[in-house]
Amino acid sequence: MFIMIQRTLVLLKPDAIKRGLIGKIISRFEDAGLKIVGMKMVWVNQEFARKHYEEHLDKEFYEWLEKFITSGPVIAMCLEGVEAISVVRKMVGSTEPGKALPGTIRGDFAHLSTTYANKKGIAVPNLIHASGNEEQAKREIALWFKPEEIHSYKLAYEELVL
Ligand code: CDP
Ligand code: MG
């Protein structure tokens, strides 16, 4: 079988930073053996938010989503690993924290429903974004990182392999 090493984009959204969850969330990816090949803190503006969430521009929740993602700095990461796109989505869990399974990031650190949040006129604070598929990952990594901000290096165990 062809083994696919993939790169995916992860954002720790402003609620994750404000709740002091940066370390805990990043640890989960390190513990799973994923490689952080790019990382930075960015406070995005409206124009950038529109580019990142272009697929949602015409959705009824877009305005709330834009307010949410521009409400503070985010941590942007590019993670690399075997089938990293689907593995990371699995670790992140369902969009709606109230439905996300225990053991997932959204399931363990949040609980609100999107209905509850949307009724209050806000996007659901679900801590994290992860690319949904290969096409999204490629587009999002290129949007958030310059080529020289992505680093190819070996993890400790990879350095020991001759
Ligand atoms: O982030 P994910 O790919 O799981 O979900 P999405 O369907 O691509 O939606 C992007 C983001 O919009 C979500 O993560 C939520 O923060 C927000 N959203 C919302 O606030 N209310 C909804 N009804 C749907 C999405
Ligand atoms: Mg999505």
Domains and CATH numbers, the chain: 5-151 (3.30.70.141)
pLDDT tens-digit profile of 62-115? 999 999 999 999 999 999 999 999 999 999 999 999 999 999 999 999 999 999
Beta bridge partners of 7: 80
Q: Going by CA atoms, what residue is nearest to atom 16 of ligand 1?
A: 124
Q: Is the pLDDT of residue 6 over 80?
A: yes
DSSP 13-42: -HHHHHTT-HHHHHHHHHHTT-EEEEEEEE
The ligand that comes nearest to the alpha carbon of residue 105 is 1
- Smallest CA-to-CA distance from 13 within 71, 96, 92, 83 is with 71
Number of neighbours of residue 148 by Cβ within 10 angstroms = 7
For residue 128, how far is its CA from the centre of ligand 1 (angstroms)?
10
Q: Which atom of ligand 1 is nearest to the CA of 117?
A: 20
The whole model's pTM is what? 0.97
